[in-house]
């Protein structure tokens, strides 16, 4: 009986791992603001290239402000079971993402009120490339920053985001 249960669990886990897909082609991205001149659009983060190399035409960039900055992805088909989120932040700018949080939610409320998947711990700066496990159902994935750095305030400069799930 125990052996049969272990085989079922093992097989189910393999199916889940195999069935994961990048879900970003099935939704839209928005953000709290754009850099002056309308560059650094939210959609850039869900389009190739998969890289940390920064350019205003391939990475997001919110406006300089002391207000919280956010980037939000909404699924076009409703809810999804999200297994992990991969983030590629601007190369050389880990200090600007200091203190960020990642949420999976069922509402577009900002500040987010859903499941907190990750909160950047202090001290030190986060890695600019991260794979963050989630294992949550939700309609939205929200990158949220209230801290940023002391010079520019909270910013979002995402060069690529992949949201994996079922």
**CB contact at 8 A, 102 and 141:** yes
Q: Rounded to the nearest 5°, which phi and psi values hold at 12?
A: -60, -45
At residue 4, the pLDDT reads 53
Cβ burial of 60 (10 Å; 0-12, 13-18, 19+) is buried
DSSP H or E segment with residue 89: strand 80-89
Per-residue pLDDT of the chain (166 residues; tens, 9 = 90+): 665 544 544 544 444 455 699 999 999 999 999 988 779 999 999 999 999 999 999 999 999 999 999 999 999 999 999 999 999 999 999 999 999 999 999 999 999 999 999 999 988 899 999 999 999 999 999 999 999 888 999 999 999 999 999 9
DSSP H or E segment with residue 28: strand 27-31
At residue 14, the pLDDT reads 44
- Cis, peptide link before residue 111, omega less than 30° from 0: yes
At residue 100, the pLDDT reads 97
At residue 110, the pLDDT reads 98
Report residue 2 as tokens: 């125990």
Which residue do the tokens 């939704």 mark? 27
């Amino acid at each position: 009986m125990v052996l049969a249960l272990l085989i079922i669990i093992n097989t189910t886990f393999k199916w889940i791992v195999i069935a994961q897909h990048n879900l970003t082609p099935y939704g839209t991205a928005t953000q709290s603001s754009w850099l002056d001149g309308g560059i650094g659009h939210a959609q850039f983060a869900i389009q190739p290239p998969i890289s940390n190399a920064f350019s205003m035409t391939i990475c997001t960039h919110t406006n300089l402000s002391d207000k919280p900055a956010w980037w939000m992805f909404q699924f076009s088909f409703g809810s999804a079971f999200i297994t992990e989120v991969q983030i590629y932040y601007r190369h050389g700018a880990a200090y600007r993402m200091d203190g960020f949080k990642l949420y999976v939610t069922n509402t577009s409320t900002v500040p987010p009120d859903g499941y907190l998947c990750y909160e950047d711990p202090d001290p030190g700066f986060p890695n600019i490339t991260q794979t963050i496990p989630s294992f949550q159902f939700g309609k939205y994935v929200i990158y949220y920053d209230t801290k940023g750095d002391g010079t520019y305030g909270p910013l979002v400069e995402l060069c690529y985001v992949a949201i994996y799930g079922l």
